[in-house]
Amino acid sequence: MDRRILIADDDAKSLAGLSTLLSDLQYATAIAATLDDAVQAASRFVPDVLVVGLSLAPDDDFGTLVQRLRAACGARTPLLIALGGWGESQHRDEALAAGFDIHLVRPVGLDQLTFILSLVA
């Protein structure tokens, strides 16, 4: 696959699992465990998709998280996927209102993830 995916999450288990899964599916992946690392990686890795743990948001400010990542991507507009541990509609609505394109709840199903990634041109 020629899509590049940046996975940013402070949950080490989730980070490792998603990275392994996506690498096994032949995606080029990069990982980051902090927001600062994610911003740096987004500017140099040139991702098509960012999968971002909402726990990276400073003070649960999803808007700041989105703004920093989008700014790091410059003119590129990668698909921005929020990864959360909450399934309530309020959390999904907050993530989408902040600028995420998609909100997924852990654990993410393989079928769900591969379907979403198949839609990225």
Q: The domain spanning residue 102 has which CATH number? A: 3.40.50.2300
Q: Which residues contact 104 (CB under 8 A, 6 or more apart)?
A: 81, 82, 83, 84, 112, 113, 116
Give the range of the structural domain holding residue 55, as residue numbers without chain letter. 4-118
Cis geometry, peptide bond prior to residue 47 (ω within 30 degrees of 0): no
DSSP state, residue 76: -
Residue 4: count other Cβ atoms within 10 Å of its Cβ: 16
Q: Which residues contact 7 (CB under 8 A, 6 or more apart)?
A: 15, 18, 19, 22, 29, 30, 31, 32, 50, 51
| Whether pTM exceeds 0.75 | yes
State how many domains the chain has: 1
pLDDT tens readout for residues 8-55: 999 999 899 999 999 999 999 999 999 999 999 999 998 999 999 999
